[in-house]
Each structure stands twice: as structure tokens, then as C-alpha cells.
Amino acid sequence: MRAVIQRVLEATVKVNDKLVGQIGKGLLVYLGVGKEDGLKDAEFIADKLVNLRIFADEAGKMNRSVLDVGGQILLVSNFTLYGDCRKGRRPGFDAAAEPVLAQQLYEKVIELVGKSGVTVEKGVFGAYMHVSSINDGPVTFLLDSSRLF
């Protein structure tokens, strides 16, 4: 699994001009599922999202997690995180999971984050979405459950 994690002051996601997810202070997360991913990958990503210390403490150092600061997470599926742009001019998506597996693991991450006590909102899997956010910092991280980066 791959994730782009952005610390935000607020974020929203709309489908067909209808608001389907909205958070205040927290994390906007774009999540891509690879065809080799499984439950362990979902558990790794969920744990990182909840416990990654990327919010400032009293000294201004990144020492607090989204859980520590009472933040929220907006989780948006994004298969293009598995787009391979190394050859040619058109991305290839061979490494992306098929929709059935991808949706199962996406929902599993949402379930695991929710069980941690963090409020989690989501987009609509497979839908064309409009995502808006106000980045905080900006602070953005890339995460890969295979630890490629």
C-alpha cells in the first residue's frame, strides 16, 4: 500500500457536488492498494496513520500524533499512486490492485483507524472526486507498506 499523507487544517471530498467527507484539523490521506497487498499492509498503514508523530508539541517539534492532538483523518482511495511513469508518456497501472481487493483493503484501513479512536471520514471508492484542503505547513509524507521509501 502507498499513502500520501498531508497535515491539514481542514479537508473535504465531494462526489457529484455532494459533500461525502469532511474533517477539521488532521490528516488528508490518499491511499493506493497494490496487487500484492494484504491484511498486514492494511495494519501497517493504519498504525502509521494513527501514530505518526507529525504534529507540533509545545516546543514546536513534531512529537504528537493525530491521536494525541484529537485530529481527524480523511481517507481517499487513489489507485494512481501505483502509476508507473518511468517509461513513455502514459502511466502504467499493472502494480495496482484489482478493484475488489483494493476496496476490501481500503475499507479495512478505515475500520482499523476507526477502532483506534480517531474519527475517520472517507471518499467514495472508485468515484470521480473533488478533494479540497488547506495544508498545514505544508507537511506531506510518502508511505509505502513495502518500505520502498
Closest residue by Cα to residue 1 from 111, 101, 123? 101
Closest residue by Cα to residue 71 from 24, 13, 128, 131? 24
Strands 72-77 and 119-122: parallel
Classify residue 45 as exposed, middle or buried by CB count within 10 Å of its CB (0-12, 13-18, 19+): buried
- How many angstroms separate the CA atoms of 15 and 148, rounded? 32
Taking 90 as the threshold, does the pLDDT of residue 62 lie above it?
Answer: yes
Strands 2-15 and 18-23: antiparallel
Does the reported pTM lie above 0.75?
yes
On whether residue 149 sits in a domain, the answer given is no
Contacts of 54 (CB under 8 A, 6+ apart): 5, 7, 62, 64, 65, 66, 139, 141
Domain that residue 100 falls in? 2-144
What is the domain count for the chain?
A: 1
On whether residue 134 sits in a domain, the answer given is yes
Task: Give 21-49 pLDDT, tens digit per residue.
Answer: 999 999 999 999 999 999 999 999 999 99
Taking 90 as the threshold, does the pLDDT of residue 149 lie above it?
Answer: no
What CATH number did the domain enclosing 101 receive?
A: 3.50.80.10
For the chain, what is the mean pLDDT? 97
Contact 48, 147 (CB under 8 A): no
